[in-house]
Amino acid sequence: MLPNTGKLAGCTLFITGASRGIGKAIALKAARDGANIVIAAKTAEPHPKLPGTIYTAAEEIEAAGGRALPCIVNVRQEEQIISAVEKAVKTFGGIDILVNNASAISLTGTLETETKKVNLMMDVNVRGTYLTSKACLPYLRKSKNPHILNLSPPMNMKPMWFKNHCAYTISKYGMSMCVLGMAEEFKGEVAVNALWPKTAIHTAAMDMLGGSGIEKQCRKTDIIADAAYCILTKPKSFTGNFIIDEVLLREEGVKDFDVYAIAPGHPLMADFFLDAETDMTATKSESHGASQASDGAKVNKESASAGPVAETFRVIQGELNKEMVKSTQGVFQFELSGDEGGTWYLDLKTSSGSAGFGKPPAAADVVMSMSSGDFVKMFTGKLKPTMAFISGKLRIKGNMALAVKLEKMLTQFNAKL
């Protein structure tokens, strides 16, 4: 862990989305120096699924040694942003640091993403970041060492990072474009940087996206808080950077990263938008395989009767039972490319269930497209579905909740395969 140095004592941080998760972790790290924290977030009343409110966060910040100003702010509402900024200046005398952390996510394809979800992501991620920065900048320019820090990724323009969740990618890259533009526009006056995690970070939102057990593949929010602290205590000449948490902390001398792991020693899931060097060949071969997916209908049952995919489905068929069907109630269709490519299915909706080659006996609730090699890895426990999806190896259309259910069921199949 990176020790506190006291450099943020008396500084005022305006943090969006600071009632929980990464935003709150950054706030608590600064509070230990004796900083003033403006908690600019929506949650004033307890949420049924997500922990914490702006008031519970304020209590934690003050217990850690900081001063807190909880403000009800929906960054989609410009007047709420401006009001909170004015309260911050009146209460603390100015603003030294802005952390644009508030973000919305929907990991859905173009046809599956409702317009209201598109609007939400664009309004919160891009417009909210832009307008909050605009409102804070007049006061930041008066600070001795002002910083804007956006929680957004380096802009990796490989198509794989767009194809499965185009709207989300556009919205996050919009935040990164704010860094590019404002860092240059306010060079010498205000530092503007982006911070992104190398691995998945365990938050309540990640639990909702990944389901039970996902936390073992994640790091704690502490690693982002430490990296943010390191950036925000640098001089304002440190600007225009797209920083990966682990890379920066290694440069700062941190050697033990197990302290940040939820389950030390457990394999970690890479975050969105970052290429794993070892996956480059797989990415290239998969893009080639995708062009062959439409040829699935040409594969006959005889050619699909032997090999690892066929063996996987044979084992699955033997494990199916009425209880599994009752608890799942879903039909899964797999469009596989490469060896044993074609259409395969897993019916967990009718009778005692069935699995095999060809179209499912009932309409599919979820369609999963991937290479046959990755399919086998997924069902034998060598590739986590969440990781496959995030890295672009798995494309999902249809009911995402059912897709999460399948991931939980895979543990039952892994032992037999």
Percent of the chain with pLDDT over 70: 89
> pLDDT-based confidence at 211, cuts 50/70/90?
low
> pLDDT-based confidence at 304, cuts 50/70/90?
very low
Q: Where in the chain is the domain with CATH 3.40.50.720?
A: 12-260
Q: Tabulate helix, strand, coil % of the chain (nearest 5).
A: 45, 15, 40
Distances (CA, A) of 397 to 108, 116, 246, 340: 8, 19, 33, 21
Compare 215 and 27 and report the one with higher pLDDT.
27
pLDDT tens per residue, range 217-251? 899 999 999 999 999 999 999 999 999 999 999 99
> pLDDT-based confidence at 206, cuts 50/70/90?
confident
Give the residue among 57, 62, 60, 61 at the shortest CA–CA distance from 72. 57
**What kind and span of H or E run contains 396?**
strand 395-398
Fold of 308-414: Nonspecific Lipid-transfer Protein; Chain A (3.30.1050)
Q: Is 168 a known active-site residue?
A: yes
pLDDT at residue 413 tops 70:
no
Q: Where in the chain is the domain with CATH 3.30.1050.10?
A: 308-414
Q: Give 242's strand partners.
A: 194
> Sign (positive/negative) of CA torsion 7, 12, 17, 18?
positive
Which one is catalytic: 130, 139, 168, 345? 168
pTM score of the predicted model: 0.72
Q: Domain 12-260, what architecture?
A: 3-Layer(aba) Sandwich (3.40)
